[in-house]
Amino acid sequence: ILDLKPENLSQIGITGGEPTIYKKDLVELLKYIHANYADIPIFILTNGRNFSDIKFVKNILSTGHRKILSCIPIYAATSNQHDEIVGVKNAFAQTSQGIYNLYRVSLPVEIRIVIFRKNYQWLSEFANFIWRNFPFVVHVAFMGMEYTGNADLNKKEFWIEPYQFRNELDEATWFLHQRNISVSIYNIPLCLLNERSRIFSRDSISAWKKKFFDNCKECSQQEFCSGDFATSTVRSDFINPIRRSF
């Protein structure tokens, strides 16, 4: 794919599965990207656990590419909760150490918080935890969940009405913003957010799987809205047009 040399390339994403499982292959890929796209930013979607190996992190640094952003999810602000959600013992400790190791070599980190039934009530605690433990991160993204695949199969366990956690999300985003930590909201329609939180919303859903509903045609803010996942098997009951105020 990289050999196709596409024009107007703005960024390169590496995802999976977990792309850090094959450490040597990932390092070789990054070397190749740097040799051919030295100025193009790279983002890696990863659980960050393998970055707890400082030798691996230094090997990534040795590729010479200085525009590598690691996007790492944290599912809870405590090790017990996080490990239970991901189903791996010591995952929280490994991910946290991985984040610190990236910081040690000046490779930037974005923390992603996917919101669902098991963690929505702790969003303020999330924000406080990040500020106190990872104040160096370049960005924090609060993310609505895409209910497809295993998330669809387990939706009774994970689904939570986004409108229900709008106040918790509002408090968490403003907490970080007021402490000069860059923060965004992904994958949640504008009408499901408190009005003052909408400035953090981003048009984050890929065009091929973005969906608007019939009543969205009447919305004055549709062009700025992320819409909803066409791939999700559930939808909010509170999606309604935002009327223009005069």
pLDDT tens across the length of the chain (246 residues): 888 888 888 999 999 889 999 999 999 999 999 999 999 999 999 999 999 999 999 999 999 998 999 999 999 989 999 999 999 999 999 999 999 999 999 999 999 999 999 999 999 999 999 999 999 999 999 999 999 988 888 888 899 999 999 999 999 999 999 999 999 999 999 999 999 999 999 999 988 999 999 999 999 999 999 999 999 999 999 999 998 764
- Provide φ and ψ at 137, rounded to 5°: -65, 150
Question: Quick one: which H or E segment has residue 43?
Answer: strand 42-45
CA distance 41 to 33: 10
Whether omega for the bond prior to residue 17 falls within 30 degrees of 0, making it cis, is yes
Tell which residue, 121, 100, 110, 133, has the closest CA to residue 41.
110
- Provide φ and ψ at 44, rounded to 5°: -115, 120
Q: Token pair for residue 142?
A: 């609060």
201's torsion region: left (phi>0), alpha (psi -120 to 50) or beta? beta
- 38: CB partners within 8 A, 6+ apart: 64, 65
pTM of the predicted model as reported, rounded to 2 decimal places: 0.93
